[in-house]
Homo-oligomer: A and B are copies of this chain.
Amino acid sequence: MTHLNLQPASEYCETNGYRLTKPRLEVLKIISSSAKPIGAYEVLEKLGSAIKNPKPPTVYRAIDFWKDQGFIHRIESLNAYVACEAGHRHKGSQFMICNDCGLVIETHLCELPEALKNSTIENTFAPSRWNFEIHGVCKDCG
């Protein structure tokens, strides 16, 4: 268990009129408890101990819900999901992914880096969301 504080999610649902249902709660627990990004079908397996014979749509719905609300992120290069470390909605995500041990470090930027901002302005492109995935080797593996 890395960081299992479900209160923000719970409060968020309360405040915004979303239901904190059992599938949602359990899926968030599973993803938040995972030290590493976790695949949807691994979540599904684990979900089996809280919910009787769950099916893929149950997992994907909950994943989509939390993703939309910014509580989890999808690591595109791994087809896997991680709990957001920031605990708030943000437009962009940055991850450093260790190719050796699978550790993922989320870094926090509130803005697009200048170099990219400049290039988007040059191209007159209006960015709304972004996802940066940096692969490499973490300090323990390096």
Contact = CB atoms under 8 A, between A and B. Distances in A.
Interface in A65-112: 76-77, 94, 96, 98-99, 105, 107-109, 112
B136 A133 contact: no
B137 A128 contact: yes
Given A76-B77, A120-B134, A125 B113 contact: no
B135 A119 contact: no
Interface residues of A, number: 35
A16 interface: no
A25 interface: no
Nearest to A136: B127
Contacts of A137: 125-126, 128
A2 interface: no
Contact of A126 (B120, B133, B136): B136
Contacts of A139: 123-125
Nearest first, the 6 closest Cβ-Cβ pairs linking A and B are A113-B113, A76-B76, A124-B139, A127-B136, A107-B119, A130-B134
Interface of A: 76-77, 94, 96, 98-99, 105, 107-109, 112-116, 119-120, 123-139, 142
